[in-house]
Structure 1
Amino acid sequence: MKTTKNENINKKLNNEPLDDLKNENAKLQHELEIANAKIKWYEEQFKLNAAKKYGKSSDTVEHEQISFFNEAEINQKPEAEEPCLEKITYERKKKRGVNKASFENLEIEIIEYSLSEDEQICKTCDSKINEMSTEIRKELKIVPAKVSITHHVRKIYVCKSCNESGDNTPIVRAPMPEPVLKGSFASPSLISYLIYQKYSCALPLDRQQRIFNDFGIDISKQNMANWIIKTSELWLEPFYERLKTELLKETFIQADESPLRVLTKDGKDSSSKSYMWLYKSGSYGKKIALYEYTPSRSGKNPKNFLQGFSGFLQTDDYAGYNSVENVTRVGCLAHARRYYTDALKALPKEAKIESTYAYAATQFFKEMFILESKNKNLSPSEKLVFREKELKPVFEAYLAWLQEVQPKVVPKSSLGRAINYSLSNWELLTNVLKDGQCELSNNAAERQIKPFVIGRKNYLFCKSPNGAKASAIAYSIVETAKMNGLNPFYYLKYLLEELPNTRLSAENSLDHLLPWSKTLPHECMSEIKDKK
């Protein structure tokens, strides 16, 4: 049956509104999806920022956040043996605080309390009472730092016979150590104390000035700053360069960087953000940690500092390290894991954490670090064999998981960024399997730069590039001393006594001063070893 022209027109008019409504509905649905995705992203950012501001900085997820009903399955350890019950009875003498091993060599002051002759009479029978025993109360006593002035008196000799005969009269001076700063009353011990207080104890110079004033000593913070900078330029910088030579001989180095505010010569903020860089050796090499101040974060900075180094360089994923030549970059599994823990922190409270992709990813990292903890005492070659056998399959399983999950998540979400981070840095992360010296994470470098970060929070900025450079050198020597089990103050004091009297240009002239030297005086050794 043929339709008329009017019928076709009516049919078209009737269908057009329906098609328009379908298109409009599809458009609104698409806009709603985009809006929901944005809302979810903003909620994630809000929760994550709140967690960073008010929560713990640890990457771990608290067990209290895991679903109560799955607690048994999550915490179970099938390989653990059943405990054997055994009743043990023993007596133990309670230790007091002053019995610590670190107190054994302290000077002991004894104060006795006794009765006078008149008081040694029994109030019952008026007979004389006799001493039966003693009670001892121990206290740890603190005496504030003692400040004194030392007069270095040099005797000068002359030959009277030559003087009487009119010949050239020889004048002989007794040998005397060179001062750390000529024309200054600052001693090696004073400058070492200032450096120790600022760079080991994070005590700014203005607070040190107030402390000196409290004990009647007038030393301005300007003088303190000048002493530190001048000492750094004259003596500590050549020693720093000697340590750098040793560091570049290593085959594995970890690095990190942190911003620093530095004022210009006129006291104004610099136009560019300055940075403090850290370069440290691994656990199998000589223990060295060096800091470097630079006026920018440019990749040329690590390239210039590490010129001559060849080996493995472990950092975060900052692209500036790509400019370093002749190195194999190693990624950080802790950074990769941190993206997932951030995603977990952004979840709503009612979410079942253990059923999320982010929680599943953290289990791969947990297994990796547990495996790594089992080979701490192995040599690099033994550790490499262990990783090839035990760790590599976990990496492969994690990669398969990433490839499976990636298409299912929103790329710009917290979870999407976590997955993309691991995939885009996969080569860096798996380079840990190439050498047993490499660490699974760069956490050691992050811990090592913490003293600078803590100090920066106290003194806020450096007043000049020269001051920032001196700070980098001071941090280097203080932290390297700690890593080698030395007392930073006594080690600095020893350096500042020896360096002015050492021919710095002579080959191997500084070897006896290096922090691992066997000839260092016992005074430099720390009684309590640093665990870094």
Structure 2
Amino acid sequence: MNMLPHLSQLTHEQLLEFTQQLAMQNQQLVEDKQQLEQSNQHLDAKVQHLSVLTQKYEHELALFKRHKFAQKNEHLTAKQISLLDEAVEEDIAAVDLELERLNADQPKSAETKAIKPKRRPLPDHLAIIRIEHEPASTQCSCGCTLRRIGEDLSEKLNFRPAQFYKEQHIRGKWVCDQCNTLIQEPMPAYVIDKGIATPELLSHVLVSKYADHLPLYRQRLIYQRVGVDLACSTLSEWVGQCGVQLEPLAEALKQIILQQQVIHADETPVTVMQIAEKKPKKGYVWAYATTQYNSIQAVIYDFQPSRSGQHAEDFLKGWQGQLICDDYSGYKARFASGQMIEVGCMAHARRKFHELHVTGKSLIAEQALQLIQQLYQIEAELREIPDCSAEQRHQRRQQDSQPIMRQLYVWLKEYQDKVPKSSPTAKAINYSLKRWSALSRYLDDGNLPIDNNWIENQMRPWALGRKNWLFAGSLRSGQRAANIMTLIQSAKLNGLDPYAYLSDVLKRLPTHKMKDIEALLPHNWKPA
């Protein structure tokens, strides 16, 4: 109110100048406001970015802690749970025995009488040794002769430690006195000529090392306990020569696998400690196998010095078909050229969401896991069908799995735009979407599995083995081990006893014709 008279006293020029100043001040205020808004937007973006980074780092930290501490904490592996079950059963048996002793002098009523568990019958194939328990005298104390009216039979399971024995091969010399002709049967041919080891002993050494994961020095200690001292150098020589002799079978099995239209592939590291090197190096075992739906059950291991994709390129050279694998880039060149068709692994896609769920309890991850679990439930039901054909699997997948896959795809696309692009959740979603064609390929072919777990199971012997023998002595010894484990694991896949299989093969191999080598492969083998 006081300014109005004052303003009224101003000249026109002064009013104009004052108006300009107010306009300039107003313009400055507008610019300051815009700068503040821009600064606020920049801070909001920075806060959002930091929030995403925090979420990412928290997820990675929880994942690392789980990997490092889970097996030492309350999270038990299947093997640890098995050990716990054994300990509990031992405690129960001990407590039962103590209670039995405490109640030994007390009469048992019909209600308190203990129910003995039904004992599992012993296998029929075991050799039987009869042990007769008869009275020292059949004369009764009254003077009469006792008459046998029957018997009771009880079976006990006994064990005899591994026994060595000598085989003395005696070859008679026969001569004709008329023409002085000498006849003598030749010695049978052996894998290790003029060696002391029989095929059975060689098979036992190989199976102990590569199936039971007993290093040679441990085997030597076991043999010493039964009175036989075999030098580690001798055992090593046997293994080395057997590896060379069995190499043609591994090569023949490789050719069989490369004739299949669908193959699994995977790889795992194995430490290589060479004599001339001061530091250990990392080698890799590559595994290739037929699917569990194939009539031919086989796996072959290829030992290589690195994880270079060139090794897979060399092994699969000339092969065309569908390769089931993880997302390893070593196979991408063949996929891009169209020489091979990629079949994705749903287990790897599931694993991304599972890690999110266990580390952050993500509700989004839980929804994905529920849909994927429905797919696996259908596969489990198909495995329960006796002699389920590829056509049956195809029809069931088209009918039940296809709608679930469509639902999963829509769900992934919906949440792809909702979650921050660099978050762990976004990475899990993008992993599946980028490989969607490969992941859904199994729906259109009943010969394809849903994942690559079959070959990962065939890698377990290597994981167990390297914990015992720790490293391979060289690339050559690594490939030798790969050849032997190829035959042992393939024998297992065909329901064979590796010891019986190798014993027979090593016995027949020296005189077996190379053109008939396929008859000795595990899926074709028949006992002599």
Cα distance change of structure 1 residues 3 and 361 upon mapping to structure 2, 3 Å threshold? farther
Conservation of the 8 A alpha-carbon contact between 1:275 and 1:296:
yes
1:51 equivalent in alignment to 2:66: yes
**What is the one-letter code of the residue matched to 2:364?**
Y
Structure 2 Cα separation of the partners of residues 202 and 394 of structure 1: 43
Correspondence list, 1:146-157, <5 A: 146-155=163-172
1:346 equivalent in alignment to 2:346: no
Report Cα offsets for 1:11-42 as digits up to 9, x if no partner: 56766766665555444433333332222212
Please report how far the alpha carbon of residue 516 of structure 1 lies from its aligned counterpart in structure 2 after TM superposition. 3.1
Structure 2 Cα separation of the partners of residues 129 and 172 of structure 1: 60
Conservation of the 8 A alpha-carbon contact between 2:269 and 2:284:
yes
Conservation of the 8 A alpha-carbon contact between 1:262 and 1:463:
yes
**What is the one-letter code of the residue matched to 2:377?**
I
Match of 1:367?
A: 374
Correspondence list, 1:169-318, <5 A: 172-233=183-244, 235-269=245-279, 271=281, 273-282=282-291, 283-318=293-328
Match of 1:457?
A: 467
Match of 2:349?
A: 336
Conservation of the 8 A alpha-carbon contact between 2:324 and 2:345:
yes
Conservation of the 8 A alpha-carbon contact between 2:53 and 2:423:
no
Conservation of the 8 A alpha-carbon contact between 2:249 and 2:518:
no
Match of 1:32?
A: 47
SS, match of residue 374 in structure 1: helix
Cα distance change of structure 1 residues 15 and 308 upon mapping to structure 2, 3 Å threshold? closer
The structure 2 residue matched to 1:478, chosen from 464, 473, 488, is 488
Report Cα offsets for 1:315-365 as digits up to 9, x if no partner: 111121234473222111111111111110111xxx5x6xx1111111221
What CA RMSD, in Å, does the superposition of the two structures yield over aligned residues?
3.2
Structure 1 Cα separation of the partners of residues 420 and 31 of structure 2: 35
Correspondence list, 1:137-148, <5 A: 138-148=155-165
Cα distance change of structure 1 residues 375 and 291 upon mapping to structure 2, 3 Å threshold? same
Report Cα offsets for 1:22-73 as digits up to 9, x if no partner: 5554444333333322222121112222333413679xxxxxxxxxxxxxxx
SS, match of residue 396 in structure 1: helix
Structure 1 Cα separation of the partners of residues 270 and 356 of structure 2: 29
Structure 2 Cα separation of the partners of residues 455 and 110 of structure 1: 40
Please report how far the alpha carbon of residue 444 of structure 1 lies from its aligned counterpart in structure 2 after TM superposition. 0.9
Q: Specify every segment of 5 or more residues in structure 1 that has no aligned partner in the other structure, as ranges.
A: 59-91, 164-169, 522-532
SS, match of residue 254 in structure 1: strand
Largest Rg, 1 or 2:
2
Structure 2 Cα separation of the partners of residues 162 and 204 of structure 1: 56
Q: Specify every segment of 5 or more residues in structure 2 that has no aligned partner in the other structure, as ranges.
A: 1-14, 79-114
Structure 2 Cα separation of the partners of residues 7 and 224 of structure 1: 101
Structure 1 Cα separation of the partners of residues 76 and 370 of structure 2: 20
Cα distance change of structure 1 residues 446 and 185 upon mapping to structure 2, 3 Å threshold? same
Structure 2 Cα separation of the partners of residues 279 and 371 of structure 1: 26
Conservation of the 8 A alpha-carbon contact between 1:157 and 1:172:
yes
SS, match of residue 278 in structure 1: strand
TM-score, normalised to structure 2's length? 0.79
Identity %, equivalent residues: 30
Match of 1:516?
A: 523
Conservation of the 8 A alpha-carbon contact between 1:261 and 1:269:
no
**What is the one-letter code of the residue matched to 1:274?**
G
**What is the one-letter code of the residue matched to 1:41?**
K
**What is the one-letter code of the residue matched to 1:315?**
C
Correspondence list, 1:50-69, <5 A: 50-53=65-68, 54=70, 55=75
**What is the one-letter code of the residue matched to 1:264?**
Q
SS, match of residue 365 in structure 1: helix
Correspondence list, 1:149-168, <5 A: 149-155=166-172, 161=178
